């Protein structure tokens, strides 16, 4: 049994929640803004909205991991929660908050399990800070993508 580690990042996006939700919901486009994600593939081809089951490939620094993820909570334009099924043990959530029709707050939390012996390496002042920084850079790229007009209706 390992130790679960969590990283949380936030941003404010100058776009309505409909647009922000729509861009986030395009899971197969995530490699456009998530640098470590090589691909996201929908497993349920009949899904008309966000698919419940997807296959993810992470590629970074010569490592490649594949896993399946299942969305286990979805509140339209408010939040998503997911967890991995086999493979890399992960879970996470993204929350959307809208103060007005021109700005949306996004809070992303990613949690993963590491063997207890490796967990100390992920302290914030060692490698953990790099993971948090990478997630923030990914979220900032997401913000730039949305603010560029991607996904506008």
> Cα 124 to the chain's mean position, in Å?
19
The C-alpha atoms of residue 59 and residue 30 are separated, in whole angstroms, by 13
Q: Can you state the angle between helices 17-25 and 129-147, rounded to 10 degrees?
A: 120
**Residue 56 and residue 68 in contact, taking contact as beta carbons nearer than 8 Å:** yes
Q: How many other CB atoms are found less than 10 A from the CB of residue 68?
A: 16
pLDDT tens for 18-76 read: 999 999 999 889 999 999 899 999 887 665 556 688 898 988 778 888 889 999 999 99
Q: What is the pTM of this model?
A: 0.86
With bands split at pLDDT 50, 70 and 90, how would you rate the model's confidence at 103?
very high
Q: What gap in Å lies between CA 3 and CA 82, rounded to an integer? A: 18
Residue with tokens 């879970």: 91
Q: How far apart are CA 12 and CA 81, in angstroms?
A: 20
């Amino acid at each position: 049994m390992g130790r679960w580690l969590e990283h949380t990042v936030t941003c404010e996006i100058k776009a309505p929640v409909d647009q922000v939700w729509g861009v986030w919901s395009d899971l197969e486009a995530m490699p456009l803004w998530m640098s470590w994600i090589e691909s996201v593939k929908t497993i349920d081809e009949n899904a008309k909205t966000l698919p419940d089951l997807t296959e993810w490939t992470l590629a970074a620094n010569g490592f490649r991991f594949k896993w399946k993820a299942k969305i286990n909570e979805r509140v339209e334009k408010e939040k998503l929660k997911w967890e991995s099924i086999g493979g890399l043990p992960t879970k996470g959530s993204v929350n959307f908050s809208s103060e007005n029709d021109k700005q949306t707050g996004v809070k992303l939390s990613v949690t993963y399990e590491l063997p207890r012996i490796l967990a100390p390496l992920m302290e914030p002042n060692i490698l953990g800070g790099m993971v948090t920084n990478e997630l923030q850079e990914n979220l900032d790229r997401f913000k730039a993508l949305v603010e560029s007009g991607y996904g506008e209706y």
